[in-house]
Amino acid sequence: MTAWQNERTVEDVAHGIRRRVFEHTIRNNGGYLSQACSAAEQLAWLYHDELRLGPPTLPMIPEPFGGVPSADNAGYRTGAGYNGPAAPQYDRLFIAPAHYALVAYATLIETGRMAPEGLEMFNRDGSSVEMIGAEHSPGMEVHNGTLGIGLSTAAGLAWGRARRGDTGRTWVFMSDGEVQEGQTWEAIQAAAHHRIDSLYAIMDVNDQQCDGAMSSVMDVRDIKAKIEAFGGVAVWIDGHDPDAMRRAVAIPHEGRPLILLARTDPARGMPPLMARFPRLHYVRFKSAEERARMNREIAEALGTDPVSLEDA
């Protein structure tokens, strides 16, 4: 544990994540803001408390996109170095919903793994700090732009690591929309069959997706019962309660993957967002008046100053 971890709490880090994503969204008139509301405590808990990670191996200010892997690009590196070296004793983390990238970058900054200046490169041409995170983006190891493939990728890595004798775990941060994809269930079934109990996941169950509330797009019903039917172990928790996460991760699950189902509020910390419900997936303000009003009201809710819009 580093000195700053002794000084800050998971709640402090989560608040910092929300504040950074709010400021970025207001300044750029758009962003995945609701995802910071629902996921901040989960990512803060993972990086601050739970994950066993080494120090970052990549520059604090991300380098530009260096091209795709090829015989002529021997120096190609993924963004996983922001999570430290891929050593046998360390954990690995996959961010399955790539559209949570802005929240993931804010988490890296709040936990001292990326410089704040890195966020200024967000979504710029030639930047590795992409809006939809790719394998070269900070904190990302593989491309998960297609929802539903993250758990499968992690299960394969966890299986290989177990065969190699690695002691580190493989973690997945995922969203509830991914259970609408059949590949997610195949991953759980395969992990249970191969007794991959070094595979862990925490799922942001905020009941939101691009076209509105999940229940109105495709009702997935009892997620916990389905996970257990496919051989996994699942537990419902309050996704804004770090103590609940700490208790849940200690649940025995020998020979089976463990999935924490984190019920969350898509406007947590920013109640004014509910004026847009159920269209919360991506926030772009419809007018200068709405932008200014949300700036004032959300800043007040977060206990911070409104963002200056003079140069925005």
The three state secondary structure string of 96-157 is CCHHHHHHHHHHHHHCCCCCHHHHHHCCCCCCCCCCCCCCCCCCCCCCCCCCCCHHHHHHHH
- Which pLDDT belongs to residue 209? 82
pLDDT digits (tens, 9 = 90+) for 279-295: 888 999 999 999 999 99
- Which pLDDT belongs to residue 311? 63
Structure confidence at residue 211 as a pLDDT band (50, 70, 90)? confident
Token couple for 166: 């690695």
- Which pLDDT belongs to residue 31? 95
- Which pLDDT belongs to residue 74? 86
Share of the chain above pLDDT 90, in %: 85
- Sole residue written with tokens 């997620």: 223
- Which pLDDT belongs to residue 310? 77
pLDDT digits (tens, 9 = 90+) for 23-56: 999 999 999 999 999 999 999 999 999 999 999 9
Share of the chain above pLDDT 70, in %: 97
Structure confidence at residue 212 as a pLDDT band (50, 70, 90)? confident
Token couple for 309: 């819009």
Structure confidence at residue 85 as a pLDDT band (50, 70, 90)? very high
Q: Closest Cα to residue 41, out of 204, 277, 200?
A: 204
Strand pairing class (92-95; 170-175): parallel
Going from the C-alpha of 304 to that of each of 56, 58, 163, 205, the distances in angstroms are 30, 31, 49, 27
Spatial CB neighbours of 310, under 8 Å, sequence gap ≥ 6: none
Token couple for 113: 């793994």
Structure confidence at residue 6 as a pLDDT band (50, 70, 90)? low
Order of strands, sheet of 199-205, starting from the edge strand that comes earlier in the sequence: 92-95, 170-175, 199-205, 258-263, 233-238
Cβ neighbours around 219 below 10 Å, total: 9
Using the CB atoms, write b or e for 112-129: b if 16+ within 10 Å.
bbbeeebbebbeeeebbb
Domain coordinates in residue numbering, the chain: 3-60+77-302
pLDDT average, residue stretch 67-73: 91
**pTM for the complete prediction?**
0.95
pLDDT digits (tens, 9 = 90+) for 155-192: 999 999 999 999 999 999 999 999 999 999 999 999 99
Going from the C-alpha of 203 to that of each of 89, 147, 216, 291, the distances in angstroms are 24, 13, 19, 30
End-to-end CA distance of the chain: 38
Q: Which CATH architecture has domain 3-60+77-302?
A: 3-Layer(aba) Sandwich (3.40)
